[in-house]
Amino acid sequence: MVRIRPALAPAPSRRRGVRAVELPTGDPSAAKAERRRLGEVAGATGELRSRERGKFDRRRYAGAMRDRPGLRSICVDCQHPAQLARFWADALGWSVRPYRPGELEALARRGLTQDTDPSICVDPPDERLPTLWFNQVPEPKVGKVRIHLDVNVADAGGIDRLVAAGARILRRSPGGNPWTIMADPEGHEFDVFVIGGGR
């Protein structure tokens, strides 16, 4: 089941690595300066970059997402978050969020590993896009999801690559429409469009 979490909803404590960015209040110039210090949107890609390191900083990105209105995350209930996160990171060309220092040790104290972590985040390459969270739930998926993702692939071979990664084809061009209905490794339906192949 895919759920959209409102931008203003409080973040569950189990979501690791997501911290609020405290910005000065009452002084627009001070708030602007603080945003600049944290890192601005860099280049045409819109990636949030660290001025100190000159590369995409996922921790600062996560904090910045908490401070802006709009769609923040898409949350997917599943039974195997690590497996599903890797599938979707590969399918979209995104990245599974790396662990921060101390987080693996904290998981180990709970008897967990990277493969059994109950909550995994996948970050987009552009900070204007929402993150994907994969959260473990005890119950299996039942019935068709009411919200699904639409995915573009560069060519028809992209569908074969998704199948090789663990997806299944459910229906091709349903009703003559130019998309293919697929399911991810846990059965969540999504539509695949070949770029230039239709609407």
Domain range for 151: 144-199
Rounded CA gap, 113 and 103, in Å?
A: 10
**pLDDT-based confidence at 64, cuts 50/70/90?**
low
Q: Are residues 131 and 152 in the same domain?
A: no
Domain total of the chain:
2
Residues ≥6 apart with Cβ < 8 Å to 55: 49
Largest CA distance in the chain: 56
Going from the C-alpha of 9 to that of each of 27, 40, 64, 121, 128, the distances in angstroms are 25, 24, 15, 17, 18
Rounded CA gap, 27 and 54, in Å?
A: 28
pLDDT (mean) for 96-118: 96
Rounded CA gap, 162 and 20, in Å?
A: 35
Rounded CA gap, 145 and 154, in Å?
A: 25
Question: Which of 95, 113, 140 is the last residue before a domain boundary?
Answer: 140
Helix, strand or coil, per DSSP, at residue 56: strand
Lowest mean pLDDT among 3-7, 30-34, 81-85, 194-198: 3-7
pLDDT of residue 61: 56
Q: Are residues 170 and 112 in the same domain?
A: no
Q: Are residues 117 and 40 in the same domain?
A: yes
Question: Which of 140, 173, 191 is the last residue before a domain boundary?
Answer: 140
**Can you read off the two tokens belonging to residue 90?**
């590969």
Q: Are residues 185 and 129 in the same domain?
A: no
Q: Are residues 149 and 85 in the same domain?
A: no
pLDDT (mean) for 56-60: 56
66, amino acid identity: R
pLDDT of residue 191: 97
Q: Are residues 113 and 60 in the same domain?
A: yes
Rounded CA gap, 123 and 105, in Å?
A: 22
H helical segments located in the chain: 28-38, 58-66, 81-92, 103-109, 157-164
Q: Quick check: 33 pLDDT over 80? A: no
Rounded CA gap, 21 and 45, in Å?
A: 22
CATH of the domain at 186: 3.10.180.10
Q: Are residues 85 and 148 in the same domain?
A: no
Q: Are residues 87 and 99 in the same domain?
A: yes
Q: Token match 């998926």: residue?
A: 141
Q: Are residues 158 and 92 in the same domain?
A: no
Q: Are residues 93 and 176 in the same domain?
A: no
Q: Are residues 163 and 131 in the same domain?
A: no
Q: Are residues 60 and 129 in the same domain?
A: yes
Rounded to 10°, the helix 28-38/58-66 angle is 150
Question: Which of 98, 116, 140 is the last residue before a domain boundary?
Answer: 140
Q: For the chain, what is the mean pLDDT?
A: 77
Task: Give the closest residue to 56 by CA, choosing from 84, 93, 95.
Answer: 95
Contact 142, 134 (CB under 8 A): no
Q: Each residue of 17-31: pLDDT tens digit?
A: 333 334 444 555 554
pLDDT (mean) for 36-46: 36
